[in-house]
């Protein structure tokens, strides 16, 4: 059974803290993605990676960075958390090419106080 796991289901951080969200997939997928999900706004792409050490900005990259040192692991970093980054964060992976479906992790609900 294919699996995408995220390091935490719930996380509470203070404003200004550096936050790491980790995602691991066991399907040897080339592509990995980070989204945030907010009510009424759907899924918005933050960053994606199409290979190890390769990354590309999505639609809302401001305030975030990413790291992909190994094929199976993709990290999202909030350099200095702010309250407007309180959200649900979803990680996904897929085979390269665009015709393949994504597999999603369970999500991390981050609250920044």
Question: CB 92 → other proteins: shortest distance, Å?
Answer: 8
62: phi then psi, degrees, rounded to nearest 5 = -65, 130
Question: CB 75 → other proteins: shortest distance, Å?
Answer: 17
Residues that bind other proteins (CB under 8 A): 4, 31, 33, 40-43, 45, 48, 50, 56-58, 90, 92, 96-99, 101-107
Q: How far apart are CA 26 and CA 39, in angstroms?
A: 29
Burial 35-51 (b: 16+ CB within 10 A, else e): bbeeeeeeeebbbbbee
Nearer to other proteins, 77 or 103 (CB): 103
Nearer to other proteins, 16 or 29 (CB): 29
Question: CB 30 → other proteins: shortest distance, Å?
Answer: 9
Positive or negative, the Cα torsion across 93, 110, 69, 55? positive
Question: CB 105 → other proteins: shortest distance, Å?
Answer: 5
Nearer to other proteins, 33 or 64 (CB): 33
Nearer to other proteins, 15 or 52 (CB): 52
Q: How far apart are CA 58 and CA 63, in angstroms?
A: 12
**Do the beta carbons of residue 30 and residue 50 sit within 8 Å?**
yes
């Amino acid at each position: 059974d294919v699996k995408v796991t995220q390091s935490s289901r719930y996380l509470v951080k203070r404003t200004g803290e550096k936050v790491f969200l980790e995602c691991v997939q066991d399907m040897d997928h080339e592509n990995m993605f980070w989204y945030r999900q907010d009510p009424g706004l759907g899924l918005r792409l933050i960053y994606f990676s199409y290979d190890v050490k390769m990354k590309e900005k999505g639609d809302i990259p401001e305030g975030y960075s990413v790291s992909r040192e190994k094929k199976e692991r993709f990290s999202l970093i909030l350099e200095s958390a702010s309250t407007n980054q309180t959200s649900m964060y979803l990680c996904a992976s897929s085979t390269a090419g665009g015709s393949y479906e994504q597999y999603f992790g369970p999500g991390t609900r981050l609250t920044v106080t």
